[in-house]
Amino acid sequence: MLYFVVLTHSCNLRCSYCGYGEECSETNPREVSYSVEELKKFMAQDPEPSIIFYGGEPLLRMSLMKRIMDSIPAYRYLLQTNALKLRDLESEYLKRFDAILISIDGRRETTDAYRGKGIYSKILENVTSIKERGFEGDLIARMTASEQTDILMDVSHLLKLENPRFDHVHWQIDALWDSPPKLRWNDFYKWIAESYDPGIVKLVEAWGNTIAKESRVPPIVPFTGVMHTLLSNGVVGLRCGSGVNSFAVTTSGDVTVCPIAPEWDFAKVGTIFQSSPHDLSGNVRLTEPCTKCGTLGLCGGRCLFANKTKLWGETGFRRICRSTITMIEELGKLKAVISEMISKRILSSADFNYPLFNNGCEIIP
């Protein structure tokens, strides 16, 4: 299983779209309140645990992270970070990560608008340094798509970077996680209708054109993951694995189905002190409208947290669903061409088999 181990709720940035870490409590303290030995005993019950370090900003608690890595023989280590302290991480630990997800939101102007002036340059400098120091794992640019995002331009920009070069680009839409859109957005529904959805159509078209003309698959995570399912005529479950094979260990030692839901009653499925990993799976499941949707087999349900909370109401929830369906339908238009290229051995079906393991990319934005 994959475990999001939340090392702290503190962060060294104040991104405009993020309120995470501000609401701490006795049951969700800012810092870890359990011992590494207690975490080790819990993880020892899983024959192949993968750990993704999460925050806040996990590298603010680098010494704790290294103690965990030295004590717990995880099958895989992963990291999601804003990259500002990557230079401080010694190469011996850096090389042990199978994947690092870098929070970067696209072009300089987009990233700096959300994260602060000069942050884009710092991210690229620090990411370049880990490549130079021998990091050979999967380097993933993980965007947040919010109101100043041009999805076509920002994804295309990250794909074209050479130094550093990201192995994959993924994004999540800044929607349904917290307060209703009118409190943080100028006009969410206008942005998604006039910017995001048309941008997705153009981005899928550009992706398909590159595949057809250059016989290579641009590493856009949502497109690759969905196309793999289309090509195999498969049916997927919740793609992020939330509540199935992916869980979070909160700072208090609670085990929840998702790292963004530490204080929601539905999300808690155990603790590291009393629970076994074998007892966690399947205790929280998707409900309507996802379970009655004809696209469920390709989408997987997008987000268990959003399904359970519907913080933007039914209107907001269904509007994001329409965007997901648009993306899937546009990708479906490429299936025949790609299938033909595979049959002619110009491409391989393995070119679309990503990720090979749960790496924290939810696939559906």
What would you measure as the largest C-alpha separation in the chain, in angstroms? 60
Q: What is the pLDDT of residue 88?
A: 95
Q: In terms of Cα–Cα distance, which of 275, 273, 238, 278 is closest to 258?
A: 238
Q: What is the pLDDT of residue 335?
A: 98
CA–CA separation, 298 vs 360, rounded Å? 18
Q: What is the pLDDT of residue 23?
A: 59
Q: What is the pLDDT of residue 19?
A: 60
6, 56 Cβ separation under 8 angstroms:
yes
Q: What is the pLDDT of residue 182?
A: 73
137, 130 Cβ separation under 8 angstroms:
no
Q: In terms of Cα–Cα distance, which of 37, 8, 40, 41 is closest to 22?
A: 8
224, 354 Cβ separation under 8 angstroms:
yes
Q: Phi then psi for 54, rounded to 5 degrees?
A: -145, 165
Q: What is the pLDDT of residue 178?
A: 81
pTM for this one? 0.96
Q: In terms of Cα–Cα distance, which of 300, 358, 361 is closest to 325?
A: 300
Block means of pLDDT (10 residues each) for the chain, length 365 residues?
97 83 70 98 97 97 98 97 96 97 98 97 96 94 97 98 96 89 85 98 98 98 98 95 97 96 93 96 95 96 96 94 98 98 97 96 96
What's the 3-state SS for 233-295? Answer: CCCCCCCCCECCCEEEECCCCEEECCCCCCCCHHHEEEECCCCCHHHCCCCCCCCCCHHHCCC
Residue 138 β-bridge partners: 99
Q: What is the pLDDT of residue 247?
A: 98
Q: What is the pLDDT of residue 181?
A: 76
Q: In terms of Cα–Cα distance, which of 156, 153, 141, 144 is closest to 113?
A: 144
